[in-house]
Each structure stands twice: as structure tokens, then as C-alpha cells.
Amino acid sequence: MAGQLTIAKALNDALRKSLENDPKTVLMGEDIGKLGGVFRITDGLQKDFGDSRVIDTPLAESGIMGTAIGLALRGYRPVVEIQFDGFVYPAFDQIVTQLAKMHARALGHVKLPITVRIPYGGGIGAVEHHSESHEAYFAHTAGLRVVTPSGAHDAHWMLRQAIASDDPVIFLEPKRRYWDKGEVGDAADLGLHDARIVRPGTDATLIAYGPMVKVCLEAAAAAEEDGRRLEVVDMRSLSPVDFATLEESVKRTGRAVVVHEAPVFLGMGAELAARLTERCFYHLEAPVLRVGGYYAPYPPSRVEEAFLPDLDRVLDAVDRALAY
Amino acid sequence: MTVKSTARARKKAAPGVPDTLRAKGTDAQPELVQLLTPEGERVEHPDYPLTTTPEELRALYRDLVLVRRFDGEATALQRQGELGLWASLLGQEAAQVGSGRAMRTGDYAFPTYREHGVAWCRDVDPLNLLGMFRGVNHGGWDPNEKNFHLYTIVIGSQTLHATGYAMGISKDGADDAVIAYFGDGASSQGDVNEAFTFASVYNAPVVFFCQNNQWAISEPTTNQTKIPLYRRASGFGFPGVRVDGNDVLACLAVTRWALDYARSGNGPVLIEAFTYRMGAHTTSDDPTRYRLAEETEAWKAKDPIARLKAHLEKEGLADEEFFASIDAESEQLGLRVREGVRSMPDPDPTLIFDHVYAEPHALVDEERAEYVEYAASFEAGENL
């Protein structure tokens, strides 16, 4: 497996390994069988594991989620594919009222080791409901774990760790990065909920996750030409958040800019800004700034570039942070 | 003028609905399976034969009486402020005991929040059911101990859990079946219809047991459906049957048949138990605002306990001593429930943080530590 893989292939391989390692692991979703999923993440898996392990479902998201819960109660370890971000809402009720809470309601007597894979985010020129970033809804719901890889290695190992977890995990896949290649190592080098400093720096910390990590790395590379050394932290996990790594970085650089695609208002950045301000107040040289989507429905694709944070918007925020 | 006459002409020309396709109305009672009349007469049904010993009949009577007593005690405890809320099953004892006693040990029940009689049949301690209504937990019992899942408040959600569980049974090649309880109101929910689809497509061994108690809080069944509910099944490709929900023998026979049908690889069955909720939806509800006393009175004549008692007496299957012994047991149960609820301790507030996750979660751990420290500061006098 080791070598250069696309994120899509790394995910496919992670699913394959998980199916091989545990006969109780089953995949469920729309079009995941013969078609291999609309993004081909499950390509070839039904052929090799059969249609009782890789289950093509009726087109009903609440039904997929609710029956996955039932299968988990019977001892299975379902991995659910939601076809696109905007299609998860019909399953939202099952996710927040049942999946997230059943372990607590049963005082720990039942476990729901379910992974919900959702291709999320924009930048692929799609029609509406195919580009949304809804991570804050899930991270806001106690009982769920929420993670998102930004590269192939993490895509592979985080998915395997998510499937092995005894808790429900919302696994957000940055769909615009599916075809980006990266080296996949032989083992997970971090825990599922550890953040990673992907580029060290001294002048300010860019905090990002999923699709925005690449944008931030590009911004940091561009800033270096101006003599600014930006640190980039890939959060990887949105619930729980690895605050220790974030704090350590922000205390060192004194400045933080949080970048995500979701609307800024009440998004992940709001929580990060509040907590980092509480914890790093005497180390901060500037307020924690946020760059993200606007408080508007995700726009038609011809104007999505204006909605999505890009290198310039990130650097503009860095300028503002450094101007304090 | 011209417009008006055209409209009239169109109306006149519109094709009529053939009589055979006319909705029969939700209150029609076609093919209502009954084995015991309201007068206590035993009758036969060709499709659902049932042989019972006198001991079995007496045991069913005992179930019905004790379940009603438990329910009545809980209602009283709510009125006394011991429970925050109670969802009474009064009038639905036969549907629950009949279906509950049809289950085998390996079968699994997914209840809504009113299935106290089914819980009784699964040997779940009645006091376990009261924790949620007293506010000391959200369920708390181990569902796998008695194969009785937690109560589900969001109506219809559990029908999908039941279907998924049944899909797992199929995968395991096990000889078990699942029963999913829901009400006439829940039949309108998308989840119930999705459960029908999944169960049918995957041939899952699940019996959908709809207790049509005629009212979803204040909404009558006519607000949920234009056809009798059991006929919904045919559109999903599986059998539906309507049973007299106040007839414990019919509920037993039909559910036993349905569970065996499902476990034999034939796929799901929908049972509509045609019954009546004699009390309020919950203790916070006032049914006098939306339904007529005459309706309730008419259903009283179909009381599930009275008809079995009449049968036992008529056939000489039980004597005064038996009925007195059940009454005595009922008193004991009432006492146990009263004392059990009153002595139920409040949980430690740190319960808030218990079991949010199966594995450690940094934020929960952090907030627990903060709470513990904050609470301890009161004990130490810092915050006084």
C-alpha cells in the first residue's frame, strides 16, 4: 500500500483493510456497490466482499442511518456513506437524537461503533446541496466525534481509526482534495484526535482543517516570500479539539488566524477564537481572527470562489493580525 | 358566465371513482381478527388458530391485571409529584401482553414510550421504566439483558433500529425475529415508511406492531391516513393484518404467527392492533378537550380485562380464590412500585458526564473536572 496515493485511493484502501480485519464491519450507502460510489471511494469492494458486506441501500438517508444503528446494536460495525454533504440532513434526526445519545441513555450498556463518511465542502463547481460544510452542527452535538483529514496518509489512517472506534464518528472527507496525491505511511503516526503542525513558523499560526489546510500551506509559502514565517496547524479533529497543540503554537507565535469554508458566524472558528483567547490571552499580540464563508446559503458555483477562502483572503487576515 | 358554465361542464364530465376503489374510511373494521368477543365468548379464526390451556389463560389474565395496576400506580405517582410525567397504557393492555407473550426468548422488542406491558412480558423490572419519568435517567437498563430496547421518544425512530437489528439477525443466520412498536401517529413519519422499505427490500425478520389507539395526542387517526393502517403494508410488498387490539388471544395468535412468518425468511409483517387509549396521551394532556365522552364509554364495553375475566368465569377456568390471589398480588405490586419510586435516589450530578462517549473525550473530561472542582468549592465553603 505504501507509496503515493490519492486521498480517494487511500480511503478505498482503508475501507478494504477494515473489511478484511473485522467480519463485523459492513459498508452501507447509495450506489456504493457496482458503481463504487459516486466518487468511487468504494470501488471494487462489493465485488471482493459481497453484497452483504457492501450494501447498496434504498435512497433514504434516515433509513440508512437508522438501520445502521440497528445493525450496530446487533454487534455490527457499520460504515455509512452519505453521498453528498447536503444529503445528510434527512439523516440529521437519527444522527443527533439517536446515534449521538443512545450510549448515554443506556448508561453505557450499548455501543454504537458507526462511522458516517460524508464528502463535504465546495470548490468542485457542483449544483446546490453538493458543497456544504456542516461540521459545526455535528461538533456541537455531544456524543459524536468529528474528524476530517487533509491528506492521503491521514485519510487512510484516520478512517481506519474511526472505524475501530467504539464511538460514532462523523468522518468528513474534503471532496475537492479526493484526487490530491500524498505518501501513505505504514502506520498511524498520530492519534485520531491529535492536531498536527504541518508547517512550522514563528510570526503567526494559521489553524485549518480538511480542504483549507492546502490553502493555508500555499498562503504560508507565499508569505515566506515576504519574509513572514507562518505556522500551519492541521486540526484533524473537530470533536474533541486538540487544544494543547493549538495553544502551544499560538503562545509561541502570538497570533492566530482560523480558516474554514463554513460560514464564520457560530462556526468552528468562533469556538477556537473564544477558547484561545481565554487560554492564551497574555501571549496574544492580536485578536484571533477568522476567515471563512459568508452568512449566506452556499452560492451558485460560478461565484463560489468569492465565497471560499483563498490564499489572498488568508494573507489579508494575516496582514490584519500582524498590524496590531 | 361562460367561465362558470365551463367549470360546471368539466365537473360534470369528471370521471367518478369506482365503488371498488373508494376508501373505506379509517373507522371501518374489515378483517378484524378476533378470538374472544367483548362478551367473553371464544371464537375461531381460520387463519389464526390458537390452543390455550387454562393455565395459560389464567397467566394472561394475571399479566393484564398486574400491568394495569402498575400503570395506574404510575399515574397516581405522577399526580403525587413523584414522577414528572407518565404515558399511560390504560386500554392497551391486551395489545401489549398478547404481542409481548408471543415473543420467544431470542426475539427482540423495540418499544416506543408506552410499552410498559411489553416490558412486563420481557421481565424488565417495572421500576426500571420509571427512572426516565422520574427524571433520574433516560432509560438506563441494559437492552440486551432482556432483549428489550430503550424507550424512544422521537416517534417512529425505533422502527428503523428494529429493522437494522433484524437485518443483522438475517446476516447472522439466526432463528430470531424483531418486533417494532409504534402508534397510529408515528405511521405518518418518514422513518416508519423508510423502515417498511428497508425491511421489505432486505426481507428483514421484523414485525411492525402498530397500536392504533385512535389518537395521537389530539390528532385522530383520520389525520394520519385515508385507508386502514394495516393496508399500508401491501404497498410495500408485505402482509398487513388488523387485529382486535383489546383481545389478548387474538393479539397473541396473530403476533405469534407474524413472528414465525418473519423468522422463517418471509420478510416483515405489519400488524395493526385496533385499540383505544382510555386515558390521556400523557399526564400533561387533557383528552376532554378533543374527544367525546361517548366514544370513551363505547370502548369501555370492549375492555380487555373484563372480557377475559368473563371468559374464565363462564368456562369455569378460574375460581374466586384465583381472582383474589391476583388482587393480592396486584396490591403487593402497587406497594413495591410506590415504595420503589419514592426511595429512588437522585443520581450524582457527575452522571451528566458519564457515558457521553465510550472512549475518553478531552472536552468531556475537562468539563467534568471543572464541575467537580466547582462543586467541591461549595463543600469547602469558598463559594458560600
- Helices marked H in chain B: 2-13, 54-79, 93-102, 116-121, 126-134, 143-146, 157-172, 190-201, 232-236, 248-261, 293-300, 304-314, 320-342, 362-379
Q: Which residues of B touch A235 (CB under 8 A)?
A: none
Chain B residues in contact with A93 by the CB 8 A cut-off are 154, 157, 191
Q: Is A166 on the interface with B (CB under 8 A)?
A: yes
Is B159 within the bounds of a domain? yes
> Measured between CB atoms, does B201 come within 8 Å of chain A?
yes
Confidence band for B26, pLDDT divided at 50, 70 and 90: very low
pLDDT in tens, A65-75: 999 999 999 99
pLDDT digits (tens, 9 = 90+) for A219-278: 999 999 999 999 999 999 999 999 999 999 999 999 999 999 999 999 999 999 999 999
Computed on alpha carbons and rounded to an integer, the radius of gyration of chain A in Å comes to 19
Place of cell 443483522: B168
From A164's Cα to the closest Cα of chain B, the distance in A is: 11
Report the alpha-carbon distance of residue B159 to residue B194 in Å, rounded.
Answer: 9
- CA dist., res. A59 & res. B184, Å (int): 25
**Residue B138 DSSP label:** S
Crossing angle of helices A152-164 and A7-21, in 10° steps, is: 30
User: In terms of domains, do B364 and B303 share one?
Assistant: no
Q: Is residue B208 part of a domain?
A: yes
Could you give the angle at which helices B190-201 and A61-73 cross, rounded to 10 degrees? 70
Are residues A309 and A214 in contact, defined by beta-carbon separation less than 8 angstroms?
Answer: no
B231 touches chain A (CB under 8 A): no
Question: Please, what is the average pLDDT of chain B?
Answer: 92
Does residue A99 contact residue A143 with C-beta atoms inside 8 Å? yes
> Least CB-CB distance to A167: which of B201, B354, B359?
B359
Option in A26, A94, A105 nearest B160 (CB): A94
> Hunting for cell 461503533 — which residue is that?
A113
Q: Are residues B287 and B367 in the same domain?
A: no
Task: Tell me the nearest-neighbour CA distance from A166 into chain B, angstroms.
Answer: 6
Q: Quick one: cell of B222?
A: 383520520
Q: Are A5 and A181 in contact (CB under 8 A)?
A: yes
Q: What is the pLDDT of residues A29-63, one digit of tens each?
A: 999 999 999 999 999 999 999 999 999 999 999 99
Is B169 found in the same domain as B44? yes
Angular region, A297: left φ>0, alpha ψ -120 to 50, beta rest: beta
Q: Where are the beta strands (DSSP E) in chain A?
A: 3-6, 25-29, 54-56, 77-81, 115-120, 145-147, 169-174, 181-184, 196-199, 204-208, 230-234, 237-239, 256-263, 289-293
Is B193 part of a structural domain of the chain?
yes
- Give the torsion sign (CA, B289, B295, B300, B302): negative
The answer to whether the CB atoms of A70 and B157 lie below 8 A apart is: no
Confidence class of residue A120 from pLDDT cuts 50, 70 and 90?
very high
Report chain B residues whose CB lies below 8 A from the CB of A98. 152, 154, 157, 161
| Nearest partner of B194 among B158, B225, B168, B220, judged by Cα | B158
Q: Find out whether B197 and B126 touch, Cβ atoms under 8 Å.
A: no
Chain A residue numbers with beta carbons less than 8 Å from the beta carbon of B145 are 109
Contacts of B206 in chain A (CB under 8 A): none
Grid coordinates standing for A6? 490519492
Same domain for B135 and B151 = yes
- Among candidates B157, B357, B359 on the partner chain, residue whose Cβ is nearest the Cβ of A94: B157
Q: Is B193 helix (H, G, I), strand (E, B) or coil?
A: helix
The pLDDT, as a whole number, for residue A104 is 96
- Note whether A256 and A207 are within 8 A (CB): yes
The DSSP symbol for A236 reads -
Contact list in A for residue B197 (CB cut-off 8 A) is 58, 60, 63
| Residues of chain A numbered 78-107 and touching chain B (CB < 8 Å) | 90, 93-94, 97-98, 101-107
CATH number at residue B242: 3.40.50.970
In a domain, B21, yes or no: no
Q: How do residues B165-219 score in pLDDT, each as one tens digit?
A: 999 999 999 999 999 999 999 999 999 999 999 999 999 999 999 999 999 999 9
B46: exposed, middle or buried (C-beta count within 10 Å: 0-12, 13-18, 19+)?
A: exposed
Cell representation of residue A121: 465542502
Among chain B residues, the shortest Cα distance to A55 is held by B202
Q: Do A101 and B138 touch (CB under 8 A)?
A: yes
pLDDT tens track for A265-306: 999 999 999 999 999 999 999 999 999 999 999 999 999 999
In a domain, B8, yes or no: no
Burial B168-206 (b: 16+ CB within 10 A, else e): bbbbeeeebbbbbbbbbbbbbbebbbbbbbbbbbbbbbb
Q: What is the pLDDT of residue B379?
A: 79
- Answer yes or no: do B360 and B240 share one domain: no
Give the three cell numbers for residue B50: 390458537
C-alpha cell at B191: 422513518
Count contacts between A and B (CB, < 8 Å). Answer: 148
Number of domains in chain B: 2
Which positions of A are annotated as active-site residues? 130
Same domain membership, residue B358 and residue B337: no
**Contact assignment for B166 to A72 by CB distance below 8 Å:** no
Do A74 and B168 make contact, defined as CB atoms within 8 angstroms? Answer: yes
Which of A53, A54, A61, A73 best probes binding to B when mutated, by most B CB atoms within 10 angstroms?
A73
- Taking each helix axis as running N to C, give the angle between helix B304-314 and helix B54-79, from 0 to 180 degrees, rounded to the nearest 10: 150
Candidates B110, B147, B167, B170: best to mutate against A (most CBs of A within 10 A) is: B167
Three cell numbers, residue A56: 447498496
- B338 and B354 assigned to the same domain: no
Retrieve residue A125's grid coordinates: 463547481
Contact between residue B36 and residue B248 where contact means Cβ atoms under 8 Å apart: yes
Residue A202: count other Cβ atoms within 10 Å of its Cβ.
12
CB distance B361–A166 less than 8 Å?
A: no
The DSSP secondary-structure symbol of B36 reads B
Per the listing, cell 434516515 goes with A62
B266 and B319 in a single domain? The answer is yes
Residues of B in contact with A142 (CB under 8 A): 356, 364
Interface of B with A in 131-190 (CB under 8 A): 137-145, 149-150, 152, 154, 157, 159-169, 171-172, 190
Task: List chain B residues with CB under 8 Å of A49.
Answer: none
For residue B292, what are the domain limits?
A: 28-342
B141:A106 CB<8 A:
yes
**Count of other CB atoms within 10 angstroms of residue A316:** 16
Give the mean model confidence (pLDDT) for residues B255-284.
Answer: 96
pLDDT range class, residue B5, cuts 50, 70, 90: very low
Distance (Å, whole) CA A211 – CA A270? 18
Record the pTM. Answer: 0.94
Region A116-126: mean pLDDT is 97
pLDDT at B16 over 90: no
Cα dist from B265 to A34, B152, B171, whole Å: 26, 27, 12
Cα separation, B376 vs B379, in Å, equals 5
Query: Considering only alpha carbons, which residue of chain B is nearest residue A74?
Result: B165
Could A105 and B194 be called an inter-chain contact, meaning their C-beta atoms sit closer than 8 Å?
Answer: no
Mean pLDDT, range B271-288, rounded to an integer:
94
Q: Which residue has the cell 421489505?
A: B200
Nearest of B164, B176, B43, B60 to residue B117 by alpha carbon: B60
Closest partner residue to A70 among B137, B163, B354, by Cβ? Answer: B163
Closest-CA residue of A relative to B200 is: A58
Residue B230 shares a structural domain with residue B356: no
**DSSP run (H or E) holding A240:** none
What pLDDT does residue B15 have? 55
CB contact under 8 A, A106 and B139: yes
Subunit contact A71:B138, Cβ cutoff 8 A: no
Q: Is A24 on the interface with B (CB under 8 A)?
A: no
Subunit contact A104:B171, Cβ cutoff 8 A = no
ipTM of the complex in this document? 0.96
With residue A65 as reference, give the H or E element that holds it.
helix A61-73
Q: What percent of chain B has pLDDT over 90?
A: 89
User: Cβ contact (<8 Å) for A98 and B172?
Assistant: no
Question: Which residues from chain A sit within 8 angstroms of residue B357, using beta carbons?
Answer: 103, 143, 145, 167
- Distance from the A113 Cα atom to the nearest Cα atom in chain B, whole angstroms: 9
Cβ count within 10 A of residue B256? 19
Same domain as B362, residue B240 = no
The minimum CA-CA distance between B235 and chain A, rounded to whole Å, is 16
Q: What percent of chain B has pLDDT over 70?
A: 91
Inter-chain residue contact B161 with A73, CB threshold 8 Å: yes
In a domain, B86, yes or no: yes
Q: Are B254 and B371 in a shared domain?
A: no
Q: Let me know whether B173 and B57 are in one domain.
A: yes
HSE at residue B98, side-chain half, CA atoms within 13 A, is: 35
Burial class (CB in 10 A: 0-12, 13-18, 19+), A287: middle
pLDDT at B27: 47
Tell whether B146 is covered by a domain.
yes
pLDDT of residue A4: 94
Name chain B contacts of A101, Cβ cutoff 8 Å.
Answer: 138
| Contact yes or no for B158/B149 (Cβ under 8 A) | yes
Residue B7 belongs to some domain of the structure = no
Confidence band, pLDDT 50/70/90 cuts, at residue B365:
very high
Q: Is B382 exposed, middle or buried (0-12, 13-18, 19+ CB in 10 A)?
A: exposed
